[in-house]
A and B are shown apart, each in its own frame.
Chain A
Amino acid sequence: MKIDWRLLAIVITLTLIGIVRSPAAAADKPAAASDPNTLASPKSFASIADPQKRSIAYFTELSKVLTHQRCVNCHPSGESPRQGDSRRLHQPLVVRGVDGYGRENMRCGTCHTNANFEQGRIPGNPHWHLAPAEMAWEGKTPAEICRQIKDPKRNGNRSLNDLIDHIGKDSLVGWAWNPGYGRKPAPGTQQQAGELVEAWAKSGAACPQ
């Protein structure tokens, strides 16, 4: 078993490299995956025959979003969020607090109002808060995030279907594609990200190794 898995991983890796480097790549082909600012559509992975490999490919593409600063900054490994494209520690220093909305004397909503406020260069959303500690993605590989995101204990007790909605439709998640002045948006669109989650979930939700 051990050897098999390792071989499989190598095969997948080689396959992915092959796909990425395919000269036949068109706009909706996975070749676009090399562009960190866009997302490839699920159908561009149709050429991958092996369902598991294809599922992994969906997730690998999705991981461009999940590891993006717009997401990771508020899925931090510690108690404090990060900030900006440089992922610096949030200034002023704020902490998650018991409910993810900050400590009593410094609540998220104090500064982050219902929408981005451009004059103050500050992002906003009615639900602005930090992901719980068990949902921390900072410093993790796509493979680690994949296993975590499938684990109800570490994904906010969500089913795979819930994840399709959370990533594809949630308004706070959607902020990542409309982050306001001075912040780079997450790649692609929220809808594309949702489609990738859906394709991944429906193809067995396989994880890269």
Chain B
Amino acid sequence: MKATRREFVQWAVASGITLGVSRIGAGQAAATPPGFTARETLPGRGKWTPELGRIDGVAKATGAKLYASDFRAADLPGWPSETSHALLVRCADATHIYEGFDLARLSKIARPAVVVTADDVKHAKIRVPAFYEGDLFCPAGKTPTYLGQPVALLIFEKFDAFDQARLALRDGQFLRFGKETGPVEGSNYGAFRFTRVAGPTPDDPDVYSPMQAGWISPGFLESSGRPIWKPLPVAKGGDYVKGATFGEEIRKGLASKDAGLLVLDREFETQSVDPMFLEPECGLAWYDTSSQKLETVLGVQSPFETTESLAFLLGEASPGFKPKVIDAQFAYVGGGFGGRDHTPFPLYVTLAGMFYPGHAVRLAHDRFQQFQGGIKRHAFKMRSKIGIDRTTGKITAFAADHVLDGGGMMNYSPSVATVGATGALGIYDVPKVDVTTVAMHTRGVTAGSMRGYGTLQTMTALETLIDEVACALPMDPIEFRRRNALPPGGRIMTGHAFSVSTRTKEILSKLEKHPIWSRRAAEKRQAKPGFLVGTGVAIATKDYGSGADCSLGRVEISPEGRISIHSDAVEMGNGIGTALVNRVALHLGGRADEVTVAQVDAFDALELVKTGDPFTMAQAAQDEGEKNPRWVPEISSPTSASIGAHVGTQAAAEAARILYRFGLWPAAIALWGIAPNDPRTKQSDEAYWQDDILIMTGLDPLPLKKIAAKAHAMKVVTGVMAHAFSRWAWAQATFAIHGESWTADIDALAVRYGSDGFTRLSRSSVAFPPTDYNRIGVAFSSRCGTLVRVEIERATGKLRIAKAYSALECGQALVPEVVVGQSQGGFAMGVGYALLETLPPFEEGPGNGQWNLGQYRIARGSDLPLHDLEIEVLPPLPKEPPKGMAEVVMIPVVPALLNAIFDATGHRFRSLPVTQTMIKDALA
């Protein structure tokens, strides 16, 4: 559902800009400061690093320059020595005509060297990438589209001037507004209906499903922009009428007065929240007029998308605004949680650089501005109806309507709406489903990607509803879940089955046997006087992957046996660098000491091309594209959607496999003196690594160093670069390597022999997943269940989480400590979302520029059961690959807390967050 992207290489050639060609490499002379890439390559060749820990551990524990916010021009070889500073002026009004600003206010203090407004951008012929459609700056004479919309960029030569100006301008009186117009109306960002009617038995095909019929959208009521869900004649095409007719039938069934059917009809509301990553967005840009090269330093989750967007932004610009070369460099990220995936911030950093040529310009949000301008989580209003056969205790039908507040720009709104809707059934098996969803435009701050991505909202509504159903039947809540759990191979709402393990029942058994659950009645009875005790349970499933996920990986070994890895995946705390090291070590024995992440320009040898949007592409276009052996549906994708382990490490892992098989293995054979016709030459899978020693029964153990030296001497494969693509299944291709046929889950490959350069190998055949897999919605998913016990003080409503337990499955954990750490972090973020965090909409909300962490409370240590939080990660199934888990661990925490609060107080809260005051009032 992403905005259409233009063809990458074709465009770059057409516009005459070369992207990301130069690197300030690790090979800098010792006298100059280390270059950007050298600083970002960890742990660093020859540097001491503890046996345990992350590859970025030492750098992060010693304050090394690592994040985009750490760099100034003076830190970058070749850059100007001074850094200039830009101030992005945002408006706190979206209901009056913006009339301009008065720079005279700065007369006594610093004046900016350059002012950039909507007019300047227009004159320079700057184009806005489709994903960020709208005015980059609100032009004078127009009402701002949303609160926090930028109106100007002020660039100051010196820090002191900037620092004084930001103090002088912060009171909101700088901008002039005229006539009241009310908010700017806009049509909604997308409306979809997911309807499925199962066949009479699970073995029968569905009567109707989105997988069969395609995804459907209704027509719109023109006056309000709200969709009409009834199958009225204005609908777009006949497809909608067919699906909607099944949907209305399901709703009729839920409205019938059948005494054997328990029907609950409930509303639930969730709030807007901020990802609140600790490092506010920032970046550096320098346009060198003599070489006409633009260099940037940024920290985003989507480096490739950013690079493309910058190239589009300037691609048709007037002379002086169109660089010949853009070198976008991407740093370690101080937290992302989705909020740095497809953010418009890099566009403004780039403009700051282009409009002050010859100067290195830094643009950085302070926290007030990050609240005002950063991507938010969508607030949802939901109404859900569920029908349960009282005799069997089985869910017979489910219908829901979701309305999302998308804020001022579309961003990921349509995608969040569909992911939320298709996840609205959680782990359950329901034969009749009808879910509508619409993402609305409002004047609020733009909502986009954030951990949980719509399903946090819909599954919270669902899991609290399920708890209520279990109470109403009555039936034990875990037994009810077990009875209704989707079995392996069962179809979800879109009409497709998960293609990975579904271990729901194992998780439910874990929850059931845990003392928090088995002791729940006793603990309630033994509550201290004046306190209420309650226990809650919830379980969630969360997709990982987006349906067009890419991986770029490059693995090399030096004659000394040192391993280096390059990847396009972004390190934002997720431990991707360490996961890469561990996954590559499975094949190569040694731990890499040079890992460079967030690189999109280390893979030029693959010469990849693409033609269009992988999400909306027709099968014929894919069939045509794949004829070119360099063609792939997409080149690089954001580090988001919990894909780090599964996708982010895939290309490097496959590259390492090839490096072993066609480099280290032939070298080992030679060292062992095994003749070419000896059957043991074919037994590369029989050998194994013990640390960096290769063991083969009956032969001398070989140290990696010795093998590597031999491989280089023999000029066999010593470096491999690969690309992988997943659309709910890996693309698979066959290559001829060293005269042997090699088939793997990659679609592009280049190899290096000895110390030569990389050579691209054309695939001899390829199978891309069919384009109609885009209808699946989700095929990869992990499970997590949570138990919490809360203690509530009756008089004050103060809640304490006494104990908590989460059980999850994620296939093979590449870095088990990071998996546990992410689970603990997900728990904390869940607690914040359930009990603490909230951003009111519109003028009172973050768009007014006055929000900071004083009003916006995230969980701190004392809000959490630090010594009573147990995480259990199920061991992987045999040969199970890694699965994504960073989002699923947050989701059940929220409904489990609400269910525990009900158990304690007898009150069901149907909006978030549930604050102390709300609990106190409910108990009064």
Contact = CB atoms under 8 A, between A and B. Distances in A.
Direct A–B contact present (CB less than 8 angstroms)? yes
Interface of A: 83-84, 86, 88, 91-93, 118-119, 181-182
Interface stretch (B602-610, B781-789, B849-857): B849-857
B120 interface: no
Given A84-B855, A86-B855, A88-B855, A93 B850 contact: no
Nearest to A84: B854
Nearest to B862: A93
B123 interface: no
A119 B163 contact: yes
A119 B857 contact: no
Given A84-B855, A119-B163, A181 B862 contact: no
A88 B854 contact: yes
B167 interface: yes
Given A93-B860, A118-B167, A119-B163, A182 B855 contact: no
Given A181-B171, A182-B850, A91 B163 contact: no
Contacts of B163: 119
Enumerate the 3 nearest inter-chain pairs by beta-carbon distance, A residue then B residue, closest first.
Answer: A91-B854, A119-B167, A83-B854
A69 to B, nearest CB: 13
Interface in B742-767: none
Interface string B158-172: 000001000100110
Contacts of A91: 853-854, 857
Contacts of B170: 181
Contacts of B855: 84, 86, 88
Nearest to A86: B855
A74 to B, nearest CB: 15
18 contacts: A83-B854, A84-B854, A84-B855, A86-B855, A88-B854, A88-B855, A91-B853, A91-B854, A91-B857, A92-B860, A93-B860, A93-B862, A118-B167, A119-B163, A119-B167, A181-B170, A181-B171, A182-B850
B244 to A, nearest CB: 46
Contacts of B850: 182
B431 to A, nearest CB: 49
Contacts of A119: 163, 167
Nearest to B171: A181
Contacts, number: 18
A15 B481 CA distance: 67
Nearest to B860: A93
A163 to B, nearest CB: 32
Nearest to B855: A88
A23 to B, nearest CB: 34
Contacts of B853: 91
B913 to A, nearest CB: 14
Interface string B210-241: 00000000000000000000000000000000
A118 B170 CA distance: 11
Contacts of A88: 854-855
Interface in B829-865: 850, 853-855, 857, 860, 862
A103 to B, nearest CB: 13
Contacts of B860: 92-93
B160 to A, nearest CB: 12
Given A84-B855, A92-B860, 13 more contacts: A83-B854, A84-B854, A86-B855, A88-B854, A88-B855, A91-B853, A91-B854, A91-B857, A118-B167, A119-B163, A119-B167, A181-B170, A182-B850
A84 B857 CA distance: 14
Contacts of A83: 854
Interface in B170-187: 170-171
Nearest to B856: A91
B221 to A, nearest CB: 39
- Of the candidates B163, B853, B855, the one having the most CB atoms from chain A within 10 angstroms of its own CB is B855
A82 to B, nearest CB: 10
A80 to B, nearest CB: 12
B72 to A, nearest CB: 20
Contacts of B171: 181
A86 B163 CA distance: 28
A123 to B, nearest CB: 13
B710 to A, nearest CB: 58
A173 to B, nearest CB: 23
A202 B853 CA distance: 45
A118 B166 CA distance: 11
B156 to A, nearest CB: 15
Interface string B583-622: 0000000000000000000000000000000000000000
Q: Which of B167, B850, B854, B860 has the most CB of A within 10 A?
A: B854
A11 to B, nearest CB: 34
A84 B855 CA distance: 9
B161 to A, nearest CB: 14
A76 B855 CA distance: 18
B763 to A, nearest CB: 56
A190 B170 CA distance: 28
Nearest to A89: B857
Contacts of A93: 860, 862
A91 B855 CA distance: 8
Nearest to A119: B167
A90 to B, nearest CB: 8
Contacts of B857: 91
Nearest to A91: B854
Nearest to B368: A121
- Looking at A83, A88, A91, A181, the one whose CB has the most chain B CB atoms below 10 A away is A91
A143 to B, nearest CB: 24
A27 to B, nearest CB: 27
Nearest to B858: A91
Interface in B73-107: none
A118 B853 CA distance: 18
Interface in B859-879: 860, 862
A76 to B, nearest CB: 15
Contacts of A182: 850
A93 B854 CA distance: 10
Nearest to A90: B854
A91 B167 CA distance: 22
A91 B276 CA distance: 16
A168 to B, nearest CB: 30
B405 to A, nearest CB: 23
Contacts of A86: 855
Interface in B436-490: none
A73 to B, nearest CB: 12
B837 to A, nearest CB: 13
A98 to B, nearest CB: 20
A83 B853 CA distance: 12
Interface in B42-63: none
Nearest to B166: A119
Interface string B552-591: 0000000000000000000000000000000000000000
A184 to B, nearest CB: 13
A118 B169 CA distance: 12
B900 to A, nearest CB: 24
Interface in B499-524: none
B850 to A, nearest CB: 7
Contacts of A92: 860
A182 to B, nearest CB: 7
A181 B170 CA distance: 10
Nearest to B164: A119
Contacts of A84: 854-855
A92 B860 CA distance: 9
A79 B95 CA distance: 42
A161 B669 CA distance: 99
